[in-house]
A and B are shown apart, each in its own frame.
Chain A
């Protein structure tokens, strides 16, 4: 299929998405068949030749012909198709696990306006806007929200599930192949709903383990003088009241954990790549990059800004 090459839910890469895709192809085939049946009847009714002398009453419908149309076409056919579709639906629902399977990796995902907090409680790792998964192992995502309703969706891996402020929803996924998937919030959540991106990285178990090990490390102590000054500014300029950097005095909550911010591919939940220039622009005034975010503009001089950015770039 050419569409499969395009990705998304046409190109399933896990058991949940695969059974959804199978259901879709079945329904598509049935749908095309129903439409073709209807279209032939409609075209026939509109275009067929009629005898010029045909009498009105002879052509009006009654008895068995009527039954064939309205009962056959309007009741029997839909019932047959629906029974097949419903059976396939129930079958596919079984492939969407309702319970957490044994040996699953548990990941907590908390939606915020407009970024993703990602925590690996068993591993003691907290990150943001990037979700690493080991290939071949079920992952139980415990979804919840810190503010409004969001929705988690990686089309290639499975369906979506909402993040509610009251209660936790569990979504079980499994990636069968390594690969990166772009994901975006799928429930309208306010101004920057469109820019609430999450990068999902499915990788081989050993690479995943290595990534976890790296993330578990506390932040490296900066060496260069600028970066050291940046660390002090970070603690003093108010950054630390919202951000945590493990192993330092910065233990704020509310904003993303920045312990390994420099290892992330993008900033602002995928809005710009994580380059020095973009990072500087973000720290100076994130609203020029992503209007409306919760972080205020910093009132730093150019020199101080460089120092803070230099410090952040040490957080690998």
Chain B
């Protein structure tokens, strides 16, 4: 019955070749990072960043995720075993969950995205190469900061979920949980930075003609993933901030004795934590949707349905966090709502599974390793999905929750549903970036060892969980019928999974050295990345492709042919200009070229900014608070230097000439479109953070019958009203200045910016004076804690607006902006609008909140 391995598909014989014009070499050098160590530190090239993220993710997995699971399985093989001490066991499972959820799967998929997207989408770079570099440095620094806890024997031990009050200052008084909060905090910032890069890259930087409906499903998947990261990690950052304030500054957010709430953390954590599962499984499904067509030689069935399912899962995943809290004592009506929402996820998932099944059914399977992993994925993922529906039913979940049953369920979902597609993706795309095929025979061993291992290791946990074995226990008593199931699980890990991983590592090492050469399209696949040579040149595309199909490599004889104007444009761009890194922005839906812009060069500032961020968190960890100030200054300085305007390599007249010839505007000074999108998403990020703080405010408000607590008066509104009026005025002044510039009135611009600075600065002074006057105090009661924190957030945002205003004022005085080139000014005006809203809503909540009943 075992299907014989099919012959390798006709290796690239039908693949249309990409044009390699004379400029190929020059473009390659232009997009390459500088050589040597300096190049490693300043590099921004997407291949480099993507590969680093992937490698670092695997490295963190091997460093922690795998070693600790082996020790845990050994410990649980026999009841009352004392191989591992209780303390060490708690550290092991905390580390295992933390590392896999924060430092492994996420960077691996962000790495896949950053590495692949330019080739897959037919563009030369991603929009913010420096932001990509920053994302990498922060992930690395955050991961190392987290792991460094081991050097001080302060390994976090309160679980990857860090429930308060156990993780709070009273029950985890040493610095272990600070390593957890702060190390992950740095990495979370990096995750969001990479997400912004991915969102704008997918939406704005595609080949001409690659409309949204022709976009590869992997790009759709990482787009949804990146939006979810933005919406999920931001509340987590706010939650972590509150926890660290409790731990380091004596606030009372999570202390029930002082008006805090033990469950507030769980809400904030699971608003992140549940989407996090889909943040991992959605890109995995995206990989599956790429691999199946390549190995069944058929177009994917139900493309639109798959896109809709991906988006639907993304939305739904934010409405079911409370199913992690079915046993905290929620009202039955809330249980029913979250149960229904959780079960509903089965519908888009069902659509995905049956679209894949239909594609397999209609095609001809080619049995190569990536396809094996995809078939294994389907089997294990469907089992994990079925148990997922079971635990969505509250009465059953009251039995299964926090038992080994859930451990089984989540490993079916995360190993079957996420790790298997990662392996499929590595076997699939490794040849593209190394030029070598991975060994097929070792691939089979790799697959079968893992497939058998996962089932042997995790299936018995379903049973032992329902027999009553809780999770996160370092040992158990004999005589409960649990021993045999635990022993089978251990065998699964030691005899199958560990050798399976070893075979994988060996295959990578061996194939890098003496793998078969791959050629551009070893699988005969359909998407753009397979048209360029393996490994691809630094700039990816000399002549940009013109996409006319969802499967360009299968359907197009010539990747550069199309609409005559487009052809002229892409060929013109290939030969010109060769002095700077030009990339193309396209319309979000129609993919018509909108703008040619200059992509940022390599720079040391992302590294300095990452270092500054690390210093801030390190200062808090070591309680050397001056370190926070130095870090903040370094971060601010690096951010300014990073964004320092570079002289445009073309005059406005030359830009006009190009536009007349090719019909596409050029912004050699820097993109207008991408910058506006960047600011838009930045404002969205602030908005989500702000909304999370408001959620915390209203949650605490509802938990506390006395608000403010006895002894405190309700705040008077006079000064706050004056401050709010000043902020509204300063935003208007900034926008006034922008309008004056449009009509060529430079003094008017300067006047507007000076006005914004003056009014905004005064507003902060008035507001801070009122806070000092109110003297609420953040350590006595949760009321004061949230009052101070929310105020601090709003003032900080406004401070950011003032710094940006000062920068653009400086550049205005130096005559940088013209009626045409003033993207930075427009962005500052946008930021002011957001600041006005945040200020007014924030202080209205704080000053009027006590009056709400």
- A is bound by B: yes
Residues of A within 8 A of B (CB): 3, 6-10, 17, 19-20, 23-24, 27-28, 31, 34-35, 38-39, 41-42, 44-48, 50, 56, 59-61, 65-66, 69-70, 72-75, 77-79, 81-82, 85-86, 88-90, 92-93, 95-96, 98, 113, 147-149, 151, 153, 155-156, 158-162, 164-167, 169, 182, 184-195, 197, 270, 291-292
Q: Contact: A155 with B301, CB < 8 Å?
A: no
B347 interface residue (CB < 8 Å to A)? yes
In Å, the complex CA distance between A6 and B483 comes to 12
Q: Does B853 contact A (CB under 8 A)?
A: no
Q: Which 9 residue pairs across A and B have the least CB separation, nearest first?
A: A159-B398, A166-B256, A74-B351, A194-B473, A73-B354, A8-B467, A74-B354, A169-B329, A45-B361
Complex CA gap A66/B304 in Å reads 12
Q: Give me 24 A-to-B residue pairs in the complex whose CB atoms sit less than 8 angstroms apart, sorted by A's number.
A: A7-B467, A7-B481, A9-B466, A10-B467, A17-B399, A27-B393, A38-B357, A38-B382, A42-B378, A45-B360, A56-B297, A60-B298, A65-B358, A66-B358, A72-B354, A73-B358, A81-B389, A93-B336, A165-B165, A165-B262, A190-B171, A194-B475, A270-B477, A291-B87
Kindly state whether residue B390 has any CB partner on chain A within 8 Å: yes
- B379 contacts which of A39, A69, A98 (Cβ < 8 Å)? A39
Is B772 an interface position by the 8 A CB rule? no
Inter-subunit contact B347/A24 (CB<8 Å): no
Residue of B298, B351, B386, B399 near A35 (CB, 8 A) is B386
Task: Report whether over half of chain A's contact residues are helix, strand or loop; otherwise say mixed.
Answer: helix
CB-CB nearest in chain A for B340: A86
Q: Which residues of B contact A153 (CB under 8 A)?
A: 402-403, 468, 470
Contact present for B327 and A47 (CB under 8 Å) = no
Q: Which of B374-389 contact A (CB under 8 A)?
A: 375, 378-379, 382-383, 386-387, 389
Closest to B395 in A: A92
Task: Look across to chain B and name the residue whose beta carbon is closest to the beta carbon of A12.
Answer: B399
Whether A46 contacts B386 by the Cβ 8 Å rule is: no
A82/B402 in contact, CB under 8 A: no
Whether A66 contacts B395 by the Cβ 8 Å rule is no
Give the interface residue-count category, chain B. 35 or more
Indicate if B474 sits at the interface (CB-CB under 8 A). yes
Residues of B contacting A96 in the complex (Cβ-Cβ under 8 angstroms): 395, 398
Given contacts A66-B301, A113-B171, A159-B399, 11 further A-B contacts (CB under 8 A): A20-B395, A45-B361, A66-B302, A86-B339, A90-B336, A153-B402, A153-B468, A160-B402, A162-B329, A165-B262, A292-B87
Residue ID in chain B nearest A185 by CB atoms: B470
Docked complex Cα distance between A203 and B463 (Å): 28
Knowing A47-B3, A155-B468, A161-B329, say if A69 contacts B301 (CB, 8 Å): yes
Chain A residues within 8 Å of B151, by CB: none
Write the nearest CB–CB distance from B354 to chain A, whole angstroms.
4
Which of chain A's residues have a CB closer than 8 A to the CB of B340? 86
Query: Given A78-B350, A192-B86, is A47 in contact with B355 using a C-beta cutoff of 8 Å?
Result: no
Closest Cβ of chain A to B112, distance in Å, is 25
A188: chain B residues at CB < 8 Å are 90, 158-159, 163, 166, 402, 471-472
A191 close to B90 (CB less than 8 A): yes
Contacts of A34 in B (CB 8 A): 382, 386
**Does B298 contact A24, Cβ atoms closer than 8 Å?**
no
Contact A194 B386 (CB under 8 A): no
- Known contacts being A41-B361, A60-B362, A161-B398, is A73 close to B350, with CB within 8 Å? yes
**CB atoms of B395 and A95 under 8 A apart:** yes
Interface residues of B in 330-377 (CB under 8 A from A): 332, 335-336, 339-340, 343-344, 346-347, 349-355, 357-365, 375
**Given A24-B399, A47-B3, A291-B85, A70 contacting B305 (CB threshold 8 A):** yes
Q: Which of A92, A169, A189 is in CB contact (< 8 Å) with B393? A: A92
The chain A residue sitting closest to B351, CB to CB, is A74
Chain A residue nearest to B328 (CB atoms) is A162
Shortest CB–CB separation between residue A304 and chain B, in angstroms?
30
Question: B480 — which chain A residues lie within 8 A by C-beta?
Answer: 7, 182
B261 within 8 A of A: yes
Measured CA separation A251–B346 after assembly (Å): 56
Partner-A contacts on B (CB < 8 A): 1, 3, 85-87, 89-90, 157-159, 163, 165-166, 170-171, 256, 261-263, 297-299, 301-302, 305, 309, 327-329, 332, 335-336, 339-340, 343-344, 346-347, 349-355, 357-365, 375, 378-379, 382-383, 386-387, 389-390, 393-399, 401-403, 463, 466-468, 470-477, 480-481, 703
Assembly CA distance A81 to B382 (angstroms): 14
Residue of B nearest to A92 (CB): B395
Give Cα distance in the complex from A92 to B392, angstroms.
13
- With both chains docked as a complex, state the minimum distance between the C-beta of B376 and any C-beta of chain A, in angstroms: 11
A28 to B400, CA, bound (A): 13
Closest to B367 in A: A46
Task: Assess the A60–B299 pair: CB atoms within 8 A.
Answer: yes
Contact between A70 and B360, CB atoms less than 8 A apart: no
The listed residue (A3, A17, A85) touching B389 by CB distance below 8 A is: A85
Residues A158 and B378 in contact in the complex (CB < 8 Å), given A78-B346, A85-B389, A185-B470: no
Instruction: For the complex, give the distance between the alpha carbons of A157 and B13 in Å.
Output: 66
Inter-chain contacts of A73 with B (CB < 8 A):
350, 353-354, 357-358
A59 / chain B contacts, CB cutoff of 8 Å: 298, 362-363
For the complex, give the distance between the alpha carbons of A191 and B365 in Å: 51
A70→B355 contact, CB < 8 A:
yes
Is the Cβ of A159 less than 8 Å from the Cβ of B298? no
A46-B3, A59-B362, A291-B85 known; A158-B472 Cβ under 8 A: no
Chain A min CB distance to B537 (Å): 32
Inter-chain contact B261/A166, CB cutoff 8 Å: yes
Query: Are A75 and B360 interface neighbours, CB within 8 A?
Result: no
Partner of A147 from B165, B353, B359, B403 at Cβ < 8 Å: B165
What residue in chain A is nearest B260 (Cβ atoms)? Answer: A166
**Do B166 and A148 touch (CB < 8 A)?**
yes
Tell me which residues across on chain A come within 8 A of B343, comparing CB atoms: 82, 85-86
Q: How far is the CA of A3 from the CA of B468 in the complex (A)?
A: 12
CA distance A191 to B475 in the complex (A): 12
User: In the bound complex, do residue A8 and residue B466 qualify as a contact, i.e. CB atoms below 8 Å apart?
Assistant: yes
The answer to whether B355 and A74 have CB atoms under 8 Å apart is yes
A60 to B383, alpha carbons, bound, how many Å?
A: 28
Return chain A residues, CB-CB under 8 Å to B163. Answer: 148-149, 187-188
How far does the Cβ of B403 sit from chain A's closest Cβ, in whole Å? 7
**Which residues of chain A are near B387, meaning CB under 8 Å?**
31
A98→B452 CA distance, assembly (Å) = 43
B355 touching A69 by the CB < 8 A rule? yes
Q: How far is the CB of A122 from chain B (nearest CB, A)?
A: 23
A189 to B87, CA, bound (A): 12
User: Which of these, A39, A165, A182, A193, contacts B477 with CB under 8 Å?
Assistant: A182
- A35, A61, A82, A88: the one contacting B362 at CB < 8 Å is A61
CB distance from A290 to the nearest CB of B (A): 9
**B332 x A148 contact (CB < 8 A):** no
Q: Which of B363, B398, B472, B481 contacts A193 (CB 8 A)?
A: B472
Using Cβ atoms and an 8 Å threshold, which residues of chain A touch B386?
31, 34-35
Task: Determine whether the beta carbon of A20 is less than 8 Å from that of B396.
Answer: yes
Contact among A50, A70, A93, A164 with B394 in the assembled complex (CB-CB below 8 Å): A93
Q: What is the CA–CA distance of A111 and B362 in the complex, to the nearest angstrom?
A: 58
- A98 and B94 alpha carbons, distance in the complex (Å): 34
Residues of A with C-beta under 8 A to B358: 61, 65-66, 69-70, 73
Instruction: Give Cα A158 to B327, complex, Å.
Output: 12
> Which of A93, A95, A186, A189 contacts B403, CB < 8 Å?
A186
Alpha-carbon separation in the docked complex, A69 to B301 (Å): 10
Across the interface, name the chain B residue whose C-beta is closest to A83: B343
Taking a contact as CB atoms under 8 Å apart, the answer to whether A193 and B399 are in contact is: no
- Set B171, B375, B383, B468: member contacting A148, Cβ < 8 A: B171
- Closest A-chain residue to B90, C-beta based? A191
What's the least CB distance linking B208 to chain A, in Å? 27
B336 engages A147 (CB within 8 Å): no
Set of chain B residues within 8 Å of A7, measured between Cβ atoms: 467-468, 480-481
Contacts of A77 in B (CB 8 A): 350
> Nearest-CB distance from B450 to chain A (Å)?
18
Contact A74 B86 (CB under 8 A): no
